[in-house]
Amino acid sequence: MGIKAIDGKGVNRAAVICDICMRREVVTCDYHRSKSQEWTPNEGQIRRKITAQGWSEVKGAHHCPACEAKRKAVNSAKREAKVAETKTASVPAIRRPTPEQEVDIIVALSSAYDRKAKRYTGQETDATVAEAVGGGCMPGWVAEIRAAKFGPAGNEEAEAIRSEIKRIGDETGKALAALTARLDALYRAEDKRVRSQGGPGALAGATGAQPGRISRLEPSRHGIHARAGYEQAAQIE
Ligand SMILES: [Zn+2]
């Protein structure tokens, strides 16, 4: 028992000793006379007090809060390990290709994969090779062997699509550049025409408009200024 009477005058006290780390906790308690006429501490009262402080009694042994926390942590870790073990055991073993299937996959890959180009030929993929091998062959098995012994995925068709995307991108870029050049040329022609007619300043004077109004209309893009004059010139004509 980890409960010890403490002799002496004053408040009645007893010590509770942790059976694991020997930590000593002193609690005040009542004493009563035992059958042998000895003054003994009231164990029931002591138990209630130390239980409230986090102590516990396991199979007759007193555990201080720290040792009890450790014991619980170890137990729950054990429980978790057991659960994990059960789970692992219940998961069916991942199906692996037989050595014969591996050979079949390599043979199929040899004809479907272009080692030089580092891609499948035509429209071949891991899935089409798996299907060709048959017998429950998984595309994942093909992917594994292909990555290890042949090269990356992708095929001729994917390559063709990629080059088509690039071609259209290049063409679109060129077409946009040509259109921008045409627009610039158009603005330049307008500028020239307005200048030959005296420019927007002269036009503003002619129509009585505020020159400042036109300059406020002048945004960043070159030619808009000229356009404002051009439109006014058109109104005058
Ligand atoms: Zn302890």
Most confident of 35-44, 112-121, 215-224: 112-121
Is the confidence at residue 215, as pLDDT, over 80?
Answer: no
> Integer distance in angstroms from the first to the last C-alpha of the chain?
119
pTM for the structure as a whole: 0.38
Q: Taking residues 189-217, what's their average pLDDT? A: 61
* DSSP 8-state symbol, 136: T
- At 75 the pLDDT is 93
The SS3 call for residue 69 is helix
* CA 19 to ligand 1 centroid distance, Å: 7
* CA 40 to ligand 1 centroid distance, Å: 24
* CA 77 to ligand 1 centroid distance, Å: 19
Residues with a beta carbon under 5 angstroms from ion ligand 1: 18, 20-21, 23, 64, 67
- At 194 the pLDDT is 87
Tens of pLDDT, residues 124-148: 999 999 999 999 999 999 999 999 9
The SS3 call for residue 30 is coil
Residue 101's pLDDT band, with cuts at 50, 70 and 90, is very high
CB 109 within 8 A of CB 129: yes
